[in-house]
Structure 1
Amino acid sequence: MFLNPFSLKGRIRRTEYWLTNFIYAILYVTYIFMYEVVKYNNNEFAVIFIGLLFLPLWYILIAQSVKRSHDIGNSGWFNLIPFYGLFLLFSDSNEGDNKYGSNPKK
């Protein structure tokens, strides 16, 4: 689990996708809290720094969504469809191998 979080290739299970979204939500709430505290203190450099720290987390979420799309046999571009992430949370993976790799359940 979480072997290549920055990679856009391969497939991941539903469990890993759920955990990724859960961790992202916790870190996002923490980020918003830190952002508001720093903004209240009028420290513009810290606001920019905190924003830049959040970019890798955002990329990991996108990469995991692409890999989850691959797991159900769809292209990563399907993530541009509104609310497609909710579909990814509940849909089951393709049985066996597909063009994106082997089944991660094995």
Structure 2
Amino acid sequence: MFKNVLSFKGRIRRTEFGLTYIFYFVSLNLLDLIIGPESNSELAAYLYIILVLFLIYVLIAQSAKRCHDRGNSGWYQIIPFYGLWLLFADSDHGPNQYGPNPKGIGNDQEIDQIGKTEED
């Protein structure tokens, strides 16, 4: 979990997506408490902007990977309220064009088929 959070490639589970949102909101509130957008220091204001942009980037990257888990392009996240769908909807069964299922469900390998008989 939480591997390559800056990458837009691959798939993630609902748990990681939900934890990312929690991390985003907690971090944003801590930044507001510590630095705050109304800081008198110009350096603090630049630091605040850079950290908020970094948090937004991580959230967008994780949302794109969750869209991939649903079998959709990352651009689907701009649809209003689609984030709720990403949070509560289950993933595609098995591998899709974005990679294997992160839960491991439906990721059948050829080695697992050895010794099984074909049923007509």
Shift of 1:53: 1.9
SS of the residue aligned with 1:74? coil
Shift of 1:57: 1.6
User: What is the RMSD of the two structures over their aligned residues, measured on CA atoms?
Assistant: 1.3
- Find out whether 1:6 has 2:6 as its counterpart: yes
Residue correspondences, number: 104
For the pair shown, the structure with the greater C-alpha radius of gyration is: 2
Q: Name the counterpart of 2:115.
A: none
Q: What does 1:1-106 align with in structure 2 at a 5 Å threshold?
A: 1-36=1-36, 39-40=38-39, 42-106=40-104
Moved over 3 A (4+): none
Structure 2 length as normaliser, TM-score? 0.81
Shift of 1:34: 2.7
Percent of pairs identical after alignment?
Answer: 52
Higher relative contact order (CA 8 A, sep 6+): 1
Distance across 2 between alignment mates of 1:50 and 1:31: 7
Cα deviation, 1:1-33, whole Å, max 9, x if unaligned, reads: 011101101000000001100111100111222
Cα deviation, 1:35-93, whole Å, max 9, x if unaligned, reads: 43x725x2122111121122222111100000000001111000111111111000000
Structure 1: 5+ residue stretches without partners: none
Distance across 2 between alignment mates of 1:3 and 1:25: 20
Structure 1 length as normaliser, TM-score? 0.91
Structure 2: 5+ residue stretches without partners: 105-120
Distance across 2 between alignment mates of 1:103 and 1:39: 44
